[in-house]
Amino acid sequence: MDELNGKMLACQILITGLIARVANESRDPLRFLTDFRDEIRAVVKGINIAGIEHSDRVRFVAQQTVDELFSLMKPPSGD
C-alpha cells in the first residue's frame, strides 16, 4: 500500500507541475487555474463510481484531492 501511495503522490506532483507550467504560459494564469479547477471538480462530481458501497465517500476524498492540488497554486474557492 505504501508503494501505491508513493506512486499516487508522485502523479499528483507531476500533474500539479504540468498545470502550473501551462498556467504560467497562458495570458491570464489565475483565470486558467480557476477554469481548469472548476472543470476537474465538475468531472469528479459527475463521474460514475460503480462497485463501491460508499461512493459518496470516494467522491468526497477525490474532491479534497483536487482542492489540495490546486491549493498549491491558489486557494480553493468557497463553492
Q: List the pLDDT tens digit at each of the 79 positions of the chain.
A: 566 667 777 777 788 778 878 888 888 887 888 888 888 888 888 877 777 777 888 888 888 888 887 777 655 556 5
Dihedral sign computed on CA atoms, order 28, 29, 30, 34: positive
Residue 73 CA to residue 58 CA, distance in Å, equals 24
**Cα 37 versus chain centre, distance:** 7
* pTM confidence score: 0.63
Report the pLDDT value the prediction gives residue 66, as an integer from 0 to 100. 83
Report the pLDDT value the prediction gives residue 54, as an integer from 0 to 100. 78
Domain boundaries along the sequence of the chain: 2-71
Dihedral sign computed on CA atoms, order 30, 11, 48, 72: negative
The DSSP call for residue 53 is T
